[in-house]
């Protein structure tokens, strides 16, 4: 008697075991179907159980493969969420070859430290754009600031607003937001309306989901190509990541 055993995934929670069995020159072409008699089904089950007991590495290898496949699927889903950037604040040419995603909070001191570095990067390389993923996690006022940044994007004046608020010293309260809005020459009434628009809140929820999927632990965090770079890192490290992304694009 010869036996072939294969193990495949059945949903997320179990394994479907199938067996093809040949008996002395005659064969059962399809396994584990209604055509099998009760005795044959018991034989198949016993055969599989014995095989697994004698070869425990089979289960280990299959579970490792399933875990690897699931991790890859989660990573792909995270990057799909990241790439959905409609309505996100942007600095740089819309058709730039390289996109840097920055998860940022206006009350984050490290984000403000990173700001001049990012502006130098954009000034030096006209084929790079920055997409700011507003992630308000520091204080209560961070939420209003994130809404304000997205609302500034609606008027296509985000770069000036972003610069003003990133250079603000102290808590980003209402006075800071209004000062930045005026410096960017926003339509204040429209800006306030857009801050509380459903579309703005939807963008913030989408960003939160992307941050969770990417397992980010704080701000700032840069995503360049497939690299996730946490913290206010040196300019050279960012340039290296850009070069790598350009090579792989």
Mean pLDDT in order along the chain per 10 residues (249 residues): 36 37 40 62 76 77 72 77 94 96 97 97 96 96 97 98 94 94 98 97 95 93 96 96 92
Q: Is the overall model pTM greater than 0.85, yes or no?
A: no
Question: Is residue 168 within 8 Å of residue 162, measured between CB atoms?
Answer: no
The two counts, helices (H) then strands (E), for the chain are 9, 8
pLDDT of amino acid 35? 66
Distance CA 147, CA 152 (A): 9
Question: Is residue 83 within 8 Å of residue 57, measured between CB atoms?
Answer: no
- What domains are there in the chain, each with its CATH number? 2-55 (no CATH), 83-248 (3.40.30.10)
Distance CA 229, CA 91 (A): 19
Report which of 58, 57, 28, 55 is spatially closest to residue 44, judged by C-alpha positions: 28
């Amino acid at each position: 008697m010869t036996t072939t055993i294969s193990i495949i995934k059945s949903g997320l929670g179990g394994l479907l075991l199938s067996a093809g069995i040949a008996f002395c020159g005659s064969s059962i072409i399809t396994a584990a179907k209604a055509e099998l008699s009760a005795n044959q089904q018991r034989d198949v089950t016993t055969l599989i159980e014995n095989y697994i007991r004698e070869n425990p590495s089979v289960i280990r290898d299959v579970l490792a493969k399933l875990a690897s496949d699931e991790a890859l699927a989660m990573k792909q889903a995270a990057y799909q969420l990241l790439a959905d950037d409609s309505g996100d604040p942007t600095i740089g040419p819309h058709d730039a070859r390289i996109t840097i995603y920055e998860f940022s909070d206006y009350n984050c001191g490290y984000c403000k430290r990173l700001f001049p570095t990012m502006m130098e990067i954009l000034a030096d390389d006209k084929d790079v754009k920055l997409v700011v993923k507003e992630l308000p996690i520091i204080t209560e006022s961070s939420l209003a600031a994130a809404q304000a940044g997205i609302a500034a994007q609606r008027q296509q004046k985000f770069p000036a607003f972003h610069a003003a608020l990133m250079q603000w010293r102290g808590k980003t309260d209402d006075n800071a937001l209004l000062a930045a809005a005026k410096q960017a020459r926003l339509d204040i009434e429209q800006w306030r309306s857009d801050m509380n628009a459903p579309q703005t809140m939807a963008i913030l929820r989408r960003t939160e989901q992307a941050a969770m999927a990417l397992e980010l632990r704080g701000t700032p965090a840069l995503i360049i190509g497939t690299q996730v770079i946490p913290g206010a890192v040196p300019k050279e490290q960012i340039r290296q990541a850009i070069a790598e992304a350009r090579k792989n694009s």
